[in-house]
Amino acid sequence: MLLRKLMLALLFVVLISPASSFAGEVDSLLEKRSAVLWFEGEAFGELIIGARAQFVFVYVDGALSQAVVKNPDVSDWLRDNINFFGGREVRKKALFIIRFRTVKNLDLQLSMIRIGSHALTPEDVLTNRHYVPTGELPPDFSASIAVAVPLAAVKGNTRTVSVGDYTAELEFPIR
């Protein structure tokens, strides 16, 4: 009985610890700032059929940046790319992190990716250029890159993000 009470007390402490609340905050902020796009995929109920790759576009703002800095347990892809927020490379620009995972072979070119009215160029990429995968990519390959897009290209509360002819809507959080 005493052991059971100790286990419940330990579980309660873990659930209400600051790290847990920061993790929940980061997850909540990510959900509100992300859009998922399946390249060449067709939705069939909850299933996606025939997709060549999955892309996740994450809009980075001050709230997300601060939550990530406070949380020591965030994923490396997020921590590595969020550090660009507030830097001189992002002045008068919007910061996005693009994560993708291939399901089949994919010939990826930066110009295929559009955020708002802006097609990506190598100059938009903030991630070390040696780590930016382009060209023919094999199945089960994943990567993430940080990009800065001119603010003029992403006006409004909703932005269209696209890869080739496939699009998704990304709503920006109300400030």
CB atoms within 10 A of CB 88: 6
145, β-bridge pairs? 98
Contacts with 52 (C-beta within 8 Å, 6 or more apart), sequence order: 39, 40, 41, 102, 103, 104, 105, 106
What is the dihedral sign for C-alpha 133, 134, 135, 138?
A: positive
Cα first-last separation, the chain: 49
CB 32 within 8 A of CB 54: no
Per-residue pLDDT reduced to its tens digit, 25-82: 888 899 999 999 999 988 888 888 888 999 999 999 999 999 999 998 899 999 999 9
Confidence at residue 44, expressed as pLDDT on a 0 to 100 scale = 82
* Residue 98 pLDDT > 70: yes
CB 154 within 8 A of CB 165: no
Q: What's the rounded Cα separation, in Å, for the pair 43 and 147?
A: 28
- Would you call 17 helix, strand, or coil by DSSP? coil
H/E stretch holding 101 = strand 93-102
Confidence at residue 5, expressed as pLDDT on a 0 to 100 scale = 34
Per-residue pLDDT reduced to its tens digit, 144-165: 999 999 998 888 788 899 999 9
CB 126 within 8 A of CB 78: no
Q: Cα–Cα distances in Å, from 25 out to 10, 11, 141?
A: 22, 19, 28
Contacts with 80 (C-beta within 8 Å, 6 or more apart), sequence order: 144
CB 22 within 8 A of CB 11: no
Confidence at residue 3, expressed as pLDDT on a 0 to 100 scale = 33
* Mean pLDDT, all residues of the chain: 84
Confidence at residue 103, expressed as pLDDT on a 0 to 100 scale = 94
- 106-108 vs 135-137, strand pairing mode: antiparallel
Q: What's the rounded Cα separation, in Å, for the pair 96 and 110?
A: 14
**Residue 126: band (very low, low, confident or very high) from pLDDT cuts 50, 70, 90:** very high
Confidence at residue 47, expressed as pLDDT on a 0 to 100 scale = 83
